[in-house]
Amino acid sequence: MDKEILLVLSASVVFLTSYTRLNGQQTKLHREQFHPLTFAEADKKADSVLALMTADEKIAYVGGDRSFFIRPLPRLKLREVYMSDATQGVHIRDKFVGNDLSNYELDKSTSFPCPISLASTWDPELSFRYSEAIGEECRAGGIGILLGPGMNAYRQSQCGRNFEYFGEDPFLRSRMIEEYVKGVQSTGTVATLKHFAANNTDYYRRRSNSVVDERALHEIYLPPFKAGVDAGARAVMTSYNQLNGEWCGQSETVIDEILRKQLGFQWLVMTDWWSVYDGEKLAKSGQDLEMPLAVALKDAHALIRDGKVTMSDIERMAKSILRTYFSMKFDEMKRDTLYYDNFADHEHTALQTAREGIVLLKNDGNILPIAANTKSILLTGDFVEKLAVGGGSAEVKGYNSKLMLDEFKKEFGGKLVYVKDPSAAQIQSADIVVCNVGTKDSEGWDRPFALPEDQELKVRLCVENNPNTIVIVASGSGIRMTDWNAKARAIVYAWYGGQSGNQALAEIIAGKTNPSGKLPITIEKEFKDSPGYGYIPAGESLYSGWNDGKEKEHPIFDINYKESIFIGYRWYEKKKIKPLYPFGYGLSYTSFEYSDLSVSKEKFSDNDTVTISFKVKNTGTVRGTEIAQLYVEDVHASLPRPIKELKGFKRAELEPGQTATITMQLTRKDFSFWNPAAKGWDAEKGEFIIHVGSSSRDIPLQKSIELL
Ligand code: BGC
C-alpha cells in the first residue's frame, strides 16, 4: 500500500485529521480515535446540569422527541440527539411528516451485506471496519446514536429479522458484536445493543411472551449482550416481547436486575418504539428513555402526585440519559461531512464483506467456478434485475447498486442469456443454468421456511431439466431446500449482499474470488426438525405485512423455549437429527487438511490458560481461506450440557501447499456452564474433549484434557 499522509486541520478541531491515499487512488480520512468520558467524568457533568433543570424539564427529558430524538433543552445548551437505524447501514428517513430532518440529511448511505452475512465471515476485524464505516456515515449525517447492532438469536429460521442478527451461536455472536460496538463507537457514534432480551420472533411481536429458563438466558441469550456491554456500548434498547411474563421495557427484573446488575450495564437504556404500557413500572424498572415519545409516562405529573412515581425516579432516568450524552461528548459534537470522502472506502468494505460472507454449500464435480470453455449460461430468477434486501427499519437503499444481471454480464459477456421465465426446452439447451431464488424477509412478521411457491416451482423446473444447475439463494435466514438440494449441482448462499453483493457473487461464480464464508446457523431439512418448531399458537398461521391494528387484538401468547440451552447445533446434535447443512459449514475452491493438535497442558487448574495449537494446510491448487473452529465437550457433567460448544475460531489465508500453525487460548470460562443453584458460572473437574475442525460436523482432530 502506497501511503501518503496529508495533515488537515479539521473544521471541528475536535479531532486530528489525516488522509491516507490507498494505492494512489482512494483516500481515507482518519480521525483520531474517539475516547468517551468515563462514568465518573460524565456523572459529574450530568449532575451539574440536572441540578439546573426544572421538574417539568426533567419529566419532558425522559420521553423521546419527534420520533427519533433525544430532546434538546436550549436553555441549558443541551442539544438534540438524532438516532438512526440500523445494523447494516444508515437508513435514511425522508418520510417524517412535520419533522425537520434537514440537518441530518445524507445524500446517500452505503448498503452493507446484512449482519447474518457479516457473521458468515467469522471475521471480527472486518466487523470492526464494517461498523466503523457505518459510524462514519452517522457522523457525516450528524447522527449521534446508531440503533444497532441488532443481535438477537437465530432460534428459528422463520423469524423475519434473522437477517439483522448474527446467527445461532453465542460465542460467534459475541466475538462479532464486541468488535462491531468498538467500530461504531470509535467514531463517536453510540452503538445500541438491541433488542433486550429473548426477542427471537416477529410473529405478533408485541404480543409474545418468551418463557426462558435461567440457564438458557445466561448461556445462550445474554452472552452477546454481555460482550457488547464489556466492549463499552453506550446504549441498550429493550424489546417488544415479554420475558417470563413481564414486558421487557418496563421490567425491573430484565433491566435493573439482569442488564444493570448482572451484566454491569451503566449507560442509556431506551424502549423499543411503542412497547411500554405502565408508567409506574417503567419508572421503577431501570429504564431511562421512552421512545418514540412518552406514552406510558404521558401522565407523569399525575403519577407523581399520586405517589406512584417519585421525582427521584425521574431524576435517575434523566441523569442516565445525560451521563451518556456527556460521555459521548454530544455537547461538542458536530456533523462532519468530511466523512463523505470515506464513502468509497466504505463501499469497498461492503464489497469485502460480501466476498467473505457468501457461503458455498454444494459444488458437485467442481462445477464452480464456471469453466472458461462453457458455451452458454442461462440466468434466471427473481433477484436478477433487482436487489434482494431485508425490509423494515433496517432497510438501507444504498447507491451504486450492482445488479446481478450486470455483474454476470461483466464476467461472462455473450455467453450469458437472461430469461425471466424459461421453458423446459430453454433450460435443457444451456450448458449451465444459474437459478436465483430467495425470500423477502422483513421486520414486522415471520415468513415460511419454504420458498414462495412460484420460486420453488422454478428452481425445481431448473434442476429437473438441467443437471448443471447452480442455485443462488438470496435470503436473510435458512430456507427449505429439501426437494431440490440433491439435484442442484451447486448451491451458493448469498444472503442479502447490499449494494456490492452481486459483484462479489459474480467474482465467486467466475473464480476470481475463492469463497470462504461459513454458516453461522444450522439449516434444517424440515422446519419441524428445529427447536423453534411449534411457536405459533395452535390454529394460527403466518401472515405478511404490517399488522399493527390486528396486533392489538391478538391475545398475549407464550413461546416456551422448551429446548432450553439446546438451540442450533446444540439441538441437532443432542437429538441426533441430521440437518441439511450444519453450523460452521462452507466450501472452498481449495481443500484443507488439519493435523498436529497439541495442548500446552493436558491437566490444568482453574487459573490456567490452556494453549491449543494445530496445523492447517492448503492441499489444493488455489489460494484460499479456511475458518478453523474449536469446540469444547464436557464429558461428564452434573447438568445436561451440549455435546460440544464453539469456543474458538480463526481465519487462515493460505497459498497452495502452505501450512499455518493456529493457536487458540482457553480459560476456565470456556469450560463453564451457568449453574442456577450457585447463580454463577461453574467448571466441573474432570475430562473435556477439544474438537478442532472445519465445521460443527467435520472434526478431524480431538484431544482429551483434564480440569484438576
Ligand atoms: C424496531 C427497532 C427500531 C425502531 C426505530 C422498531 O420498530 O423494532 O429495531 O430501531 O423501530 O426505527
- DSSP single-letter state for residue 555: P
Enumerate residues lining ligand 1, CB below 6 A: 85-86, 147, 194, 272-273, 393
Q: Which residue has the CA at smallest separation from atom 3 of ligand 1? A: 393
Report the nearest atom of ligand 1 relative to the CA of 91.
12
Report whether pLDDT(14) > 60. no
How far, in Å, is the centroid of ligand 1 from the Cα of 57? 26
Q: Give the model's confidence band at 483: pLDDT under 50 very low, under 70 low, under 90 confident, else very high.
A: very high
Q: What is the reported pLDDT for 97?
A: 59
Contacts (Cβ under 8 Å, ≥6 apart) of 648? 612, 629, 630, 664, 665, 666, 670
Q: Has residue 11 got a pLDDT over 50?
A: no
The C-alpha atoms of residue 565 and residue 223 are separated, in whole angstroms, by 12
Bridge partners of 131?
none
Per-residue pLDDT, 549: 81
18 band by pLDDT with thresholds 50, 70 and 90: low
Ligand 1 centre to CA of 687 (Å) is 45
Amino acid at 551: E
What pLDDT is stored for residue 27 in this prediction? 62
- Return the active site residues: 272
Distance between CA 157 and CA 478 in Å, rounded?
5
Eight-class DSSP state of 692: E
- Cα 134 to Cα 127: distance, rounded to the nearest angstrom: 11
Task: Please tell me what DSSP assigns to residue 578.
Answer: P
What pLDDT is recorded for position 235?
99
Higher pLDDT, 9 or 472: 472
pLDDT of 122 over the 90 cut: yes
Identify residue 484 by its one-letter amino acid code: W
Among protein residues, the one with the nearest Cα to ligand 1's atom 10 is 147
Per this entry, what is the length of the chain? 708
Residue % of the chain over a pLDDT of 90? 92
Q: How far is the CA of 458 from the centre of ligand 1 (A)?
A: 35
Decide if 275 contacts 249 (C-beta within 8 A): yes
Asked if residue 359 lies in contact with residue 492, where contact means CB atoms within 8 angstroms, the answer is yes
Q: Could you write out the DSSP letters of every residue in 453-489?
A: HHHHHHHHHHHHH-TTEEEEEE-SS----TTTTTT-S
Q: Kindly state the average pLDDT of the residues 16-38.
A: 67
Q: Comparing C-alpha atoms, which of 39, 41, 48 is closest to residue 77?
A: 48
pLDDT (tens digit per residue) in 56-67: 999 999 999 999
Average pLDDT over residues 387-394: 96
Reference 202, options 164, 170, 259; nearest CA is 164
How many Å apart are CA 87 and CA 418, to the nearest integer? Answer: 33
Which residue among 272, 275, 396 has the greatest number of ligand 1 atoms within 8 angstroms of its CB, and so is best to mutate? 272
Would you say residue 244 has pLDDT above 80?
yes
Separation of CA 358 and ligand 1 centre (Å): 27
Phi, psi for residue 545 in degrees, rounded to 5: 100, 155
> Per-residue b/e over 589-624, b at no fewer than 16 CB within 10 Å?
bbbbebeebebeeeebeeeeebebebbbbbebeeeb
pLDDT score, position 16: 43
Among 70, 443, 446, name the best residue to mutate to test ligand 1's pocket (greatest count of ligand atoms within 8 A of Cβ). 443
Q: What are 657-684's pLDDT values in tens digits? A: 999 999 999 999 999 999 999 999 999 9
pLDDT (tens digit per residue) in 494-539:
999 999 999 999 999 999 999 999 999 999 999 999 999 999 999 9
Least Cα distance to 85 among 150, 182, 152 occurs for 150
Measured in angstroms, how far is the CA atom of residue 147 from the centroid of ligand 1? 8
In ligand 1, the atom with minimum distance to the C-alpha of 164 is 9
Is pLDDT of 270 > 50? Answer: yes
Q: Which mutation among 134, 273, 551 tests ligand 1's pocket best, with the greatest number of atoms within 8 A of CB?
A: 273
pLDDT at residue 595 greater than cutoff 80? yes
Helix (H/G/I), strand (E/B), else coil: 593: strand
DSSP letters for 395-433: ----SSPPPHHHHHHHHHGGGEEE-SS--HHHHHHSSEE
pLDDT mean over 351-377: 98
Output the pLDDT for position 105.
Answer: 86
CA-proximal residue: ligand 1, atom 11 (nearest): 273
- Pairwise CA distance, residues 674 & 217, whole Å: 9
Is the pLDDT at 472 greater than 60? The verdict is: yes
**What is the model's pLDDT at position 96?**
67
Identify the pLDDT of residue 511: 98
Alpha helices in 186-233 (DSSP H): 214-216, 223-230
Quote the CA–CA distance of 640 and 254 in Å, as a whole number.
Answer: 25
pLDDT at residue 107 above 60?
A: yes
Find, among 154, 20, 119, the residue nearest to 567 by Cα: 154
- What are the tens digits of pLDDT across the range 175-221? 999 999 999 999 999 999 999 999 999 999 999 999 999 999 999 99
pLDDT at 23: 44
Answer whether 532's CB lies under 8 Å from 157's CB.
Answer: yes
* pLDDT band per the 50, 70, 90 thresholds, residue 32: confident
Phi/psi of residue 675, nearest 5 degrees: -100, 105
pLDDT at 93: 87
Give the C-alpha separation, 509 to 472, whole Å.
Answer: 10
| Ligand 1 centroid distance, CA of 273 (Å) | 6
Q: At residue 613, does pLDDT exceed 80?
A: yes
- Beta-carbon contacts of 531 under 8 Å, excluding residues fewer than 6 positions away, are 155, 156, 563, 566, 567, 568, 571
Position 124 pLDDT exceeds 60: yes
Q: Give residues with Cβ within 8 angstroms of 49, minimum separation 6.
A: 76, 78, 322
572 CA distance to ligand 1 centroid (A)? Answer: 32
The overall average pLDDT reported for the chain is 95
Cell digits of residue 670: 470456556
Cell of 410: 461483466
Of 291, 393, 395, 548, best ligand 1 pocket probe by most atoms within 8 Å of the beta carbon? 393
pLDDT value at 576 more than 80: yes
